[in-house]
Amino acid sequence: MVLAGGALAPAAHAAPFAAPAAQAAANPYERGPNPTVSSIEAVRGPFAIAETNVSSLRVTGFGGGTIYYPTSTGEGTFGAVAIAPGYTADKSSMAWLAPRIASQGFVVFNIDTLTRSDQPASRGRQLLAALDYLVEESSVARRIDGGRLGVMGHSMGGGGTLEAAADRPQLQAAIPLTGWNLTKSWSGVRVPTLVVGAENDTIAPVASHSKPFYNSLPSSLDKAYLELDGAGHFAPNTSNTTIAKYGISWLKRFIDDDTRYEQFLCPAPQGDRNISEYRDTCPHS
């Protein structure tokens, strides 16, 4: 099913996987027009997208899910992102975010976990299994650049995001959303990481979760900490422009190496009433 939003897919006679020469010379991974505040805050980006469901019976290592992907092939292959839900939740809890990211020029796999009680370490392994399936077996594998992959997740899925980043340093980006994990030190992570916490989170309080996570990441790492003003633990489960805006910018900057999005991350956002605290290691490497 093709979803509304953004540019139409190119005509059938367009040369597949052919990026414009001018863009290719500067950065072959840039996708889409020059970004603006309006474009990254939009509910849908410039790419028309489609979706396909993957049954848990067809995969191993995770619980299946829904893949969202750009219908266009005229700009080349895309980076890919896997998203995991939190404790007791399923993919519906992140269904607002996955197509929003895909419409900005990514293949996004919004997954279900094997069981709703899976702990962070298991969720981390499942995120990696989902990425492997995307790249190696999925119906959209040819649309994906297997060297440009990232992970996201909410709550225990956020804790799993950190686990996946620690286990696979080849990833390009990680974004734990109000993450929960009993492990507080992530000094071994080598993946650019945006930690998103919520000021009024009582389930994974920032003082004992998101802030220690961020502080433990290497100081040499490209990393940032974004705290949602007045928000609670379940803020990532409903449409949230702040999460989308900075999440998309992070994925673009580090999965696509698209420095056009650096303007939204460095210098640190100022005057955004939806952010109670922001830390970073700007300038990015």
181 residue type, one letter: N
CB atoms within 10 A of CB 157: 34
Beta bridge partners of 47: 7
SS3 214: helix
For 109, phi then psi, to 5°, come to -110, 105
Say if CB 80 and CB 222 are below 8 A apart.
no
According to DSSP, residue 11 is labeled P
User: What's the CA gap between 244 and 43, in Å, rounded?
Assistant: 9
According to DSSP, residue 137 is labeled T
User: What's the CA gap between 59 and 167, in Å, rounded?
Assistant: 21
User: What's the CA gap between 163 and 218, in Å, rounded?
Assistant: 15
- Which residues are catalytic, by number? 155, 201, 233
